[in-house]
Amino acid sequence: MYIEVMFPEVCNLYGDLANIRLIKKSYPETEIIETSLKDIPYFLENVPDLIYMGSVTEDNQVLVIETLKKYKKRIETLIEQGVCFLITGNATEVFGGEISDIDGTKLEGLGIIGISTKRDMFNRFNSLYLGKFNNMDIVGYKSQFTYSYYNNDQITSQLFDTIKGIGLNPDVKEEGVRLNNFFATYLIGPLLILNPYFTKYLLKQLGINNPKLLHEKDMIEAYEIRVKEYSNPKIGFYY
């Protein structure tokens, strides 16, 4: 199994690379290709099993978009072919349309997925998250200066259905984006560690039958405790 990690030197704002370490420790034979901003992507001439990109600062987001623009058609082809992508945090915005700041500046994303984004660097939104994916509970964290909005002129499906917390923005319950096997969510950090059942689903998409995770029993126990806690109406979600 080959996993390409995009720009780990800048796209690891919340320890997002722990997601890939979990897969590597569970399946040591996995080949991890780390592609820096100065490298030619492995996916340009090859087909990885998974392409991963994590959260990034706003300044480095500009560099990431500029770097990936020349590979847009190849990325679109891989998505159409069903190659798996996992995109977390504000890296989601890289693949969307316009990112507009309240100071008037605008940045064009790759325009591959049907979202546009509004940014307010004076107001950070932080929360816990509880949602659903294929009848399984999803838990996680959000920390962001932006909200994104689905574009009606592009076919885009949500990734998660929100139970507690907010969706892609405060006005919707839909969270994230799914396009074939392209999975993008604003949830940050150790998404796969927090959600072992989602991780096993993802590994099945990568061709692993009956996937097993390192410390799976402990992960599931912690997950079930967290789901119960997040489901408690007395638990505060915003901070």
Domain-embedded: residue 238: no
Q: What is the pLDDT along the chain (239 residues), one digit of tens a residue?
A: 999 999 999 999 999 999 999 999 999 999 999 999 999 999 999 999 999 999 999 999 999 999 999 999 999 999 999 999 999 999 999 999 999 999 999 999 999 999 999 999 999 999 999 999 999 999 999 999 999 999 977 667 999 999 999 999 999 999 999 999 999 999 999 999 999 999 999 999 999 999 999 999 999 999 999 999 999 999 988 87
Task: State how beta strands 177-179 and 182-185 pair.
Answer: antiparallel
Domain-embedded: residue 169: yes
Name 146's bridge partners.
Answer: 119
Domain-embedded: residue 147: yes
pTM of the prediction?
0.96
pLDDT of residue 183: 98
Strand arrangement, sheet containing 31-35: 31-35, 2-6, 50-53, 84-88, 182-185, 177-179
pLDDT of residue 155: 64
Domain-embedded: residue 204: yes
pLDDT of residue 239: 75
Domains of the chain: total: 1
The domain of 84 spans 2-231
DSSP letter assigned to residue 37: T
Contact between 41 and 6 (Cβ < 8 Å):
yes
Domain-embedded: residue 114: yes
Domain-embedded: residue 109: yes
Domain-embedded: residue 182: yes
CB-based contacts of 207, cutoff 8 Å, min separation 6: 1, 49
The CATH number of the domain holding residue 11 is 3.40.50.880
pLDDT of residue 43: 99
Q: How far apart are CA 200 and CA 157, in angstroms?
A: 21
Which stretch of DSSP H or E encloses residue 84?
A: strand 84-88
pLDDT of residue 152: 78
pLDDT of residue 192: 98
Name 112's bridge partners.
Answer: none
Q: Which residue has the tokens 């100065």?
A: 38
Domain-embedded: residue 236: no
